[in-house]
Structure 1
């Protein structure tokens, strides 16, 4: 089974950063509680802008697909659209590790 890495880039619209973060935190809580095959899920913010980056790892692509089917993820996606919360489309990039290391 190949571990799936996912990077998501979210660019909040001006003045919408708090609402976007609130929605992301709800996804983090739901993921932590309900998805044992999600190994990593954390939120970062770029140093030079208000963009959020989410770093995720799943035991498989099927586990990532499961994540996207969950109500808390669907609620996030719907709110982003309905409330016009982002300045550009959310970018979600699944990938597989080629080389490197995680800890020393």
Structure 2
């Protein structure tokens, strides 16, 4: 199967950014320790002063295939995060599935 790449643009509701970061960190720690089929799980925080004062995050995720993504979405911390996102109405999110395109891969 083909690799899966996801990009999420996240805009937290006012006062909810730290709660989102807490949940994301919990997921990231779990991914690092338990999910070798997740090859990218990065969070980038927007610079408020350069983004009209808006708090925003970009999350970049990469999975071996659809099966890996499905498995990740069922792991305990992700389920906790999804429940919190719904109950606490933490943010607006735009999710984009991407494929490899022309350009330069990270040289880091």
What is the RMSD computed on CA atoms of the aligned residues?
1.5
The runs of at least 4 consecutive aligned structure 1 residues that moved more than 6 Å come to: none
Q: 1:98: which partner in 2?
A: 101
On the 8 A contact 1:2/1:96 being kept in 2, the answer is: no
How many residue pairs are counted as aligned between the two chains? 102
Equivalences for 1:12-31 in 2 at 5 Å?
A: 12-31=12-31
Per-residue deviation at 1:52? 1.2
Per-residue deviation at 1:99? 2.8
Deviations 1:65-95 (A, max 9, x none): 1111111111101101111212x2x222222
Q: State the distance in 2 between where 1:99 and 1:77 align.
A: 33
- Unaligned runs of at least 5 residues, structure 2: none
Q: 1:39: which partner in 2?
A: 39
Q: State the distance in 2 between where 1:3 and 1:99 align.
A: 16
Instruction: Give the TM-score normalised by the residue count of structure 2.
Output: 0.84
Pick from 68, 73, 76 the counterpart of residue 71 of structure 1: 76
